[in-house]
Amino acid sequence: MTDKKQIEEATKAGLCLGHRTSQTHPNMKPFVLMEKQNIHIIDVEKTIKKLQEAIDFIKKAKKEGKTILIVGTKIQIKGLTKKMAQECKILYVTERWLGGTLTNFETIKKRIDYFKELKERNLEKYTKKEKLEFEREIEDLQLKFGGIEQMQKLPDVLIVLDVKKDNLVVREAKKKGIPVIGIVDTNVNPEPIDYPIPANDDKISSVEYILNQFKKALL
């Protein structure tokens, strides 16, 4: 695929659409191409370049057998994130991020181990009421830990699809020295992100386009 073709597809998917000019973070100005009707338009050529850098990093991580965790908790992209993660066999979080998942991992791992033990427990030996309580607990824990059930250690790479909404994830990753790939819209500071991808993080087609590029790198 030519660069021109990539730019056309990315533009059509809406990656170029930033926020209102009054909301633009000063550090995002190098990625802004122009202003249109009080909206900042992202330079898609720079987006493609940064996306390729992130993809190269993902490919290298996969080749080295490193663990990748993707975080997409925004309602409209939960399903897309989960589907992509399951197809690519990587860890994922699509519900609310639990504080301490990275910085207090030993405690989180104990909860994951309990969840796994609970799923394997023979519930038939319990009363109907006890069985129902266990089933409800399993359902709750599935939401919280289903995507990181196989996480035996801290992930080596984090992908964050909305670095503003999930800023706690980024902060925890920074504390633990875990590199972060993240979509950075015009209203966020790209500096804390190791591999920033300047693009619209609200439009489903924009996020889906980026997820598909990640998927190609991982399969």
Give the whole-angstrom CA distance, residue 6 versus residue 12. 10
Domain that holds residue 115: 105-147
Total domains present in the chain: 2
Task: Write out the chain's pLDDT in tens, 219 residues.
Answer: 447 888 899 999 998 988 898 898 999 999 998 888 888 999 999 999 999 999 999 999 999 999 999 999 999 999 999 999 999 999 999 999 999 999 999 999 999 999 999 988 887 888 889 889 989 999 999 999 999 999 999 999 999 999 999 999 999 999 999 999 999 999 999 999 999 999 999 999 999 999 999 999 999
Say which CATH number the domain at 137 has.
Answer: 1.10.287
Query: What is the C-alpha radius of gyration for the chain, rounded to an integer number of angstroms?
Result: 19
Closest CA to 160 of 71, 39, 84: 71
Residue with the two structure tokens 């301490």: 100
Q: How far is CA 205 from the centre of its chain?
A: 15
Residues 11 and 31 in one domain: yes
Residues 76 and 112 in one domain: no
Strand partners, 91: 69
Strand order in the sheet with 17-20: 17-20, 39-42, 32-36
Residues 94 and 116 in one domain: no
Residues 142 and 160 in one domain: no
Residues 90 and 198 in one domain: yes
Domain end point (choices 89, 121, 147): 147
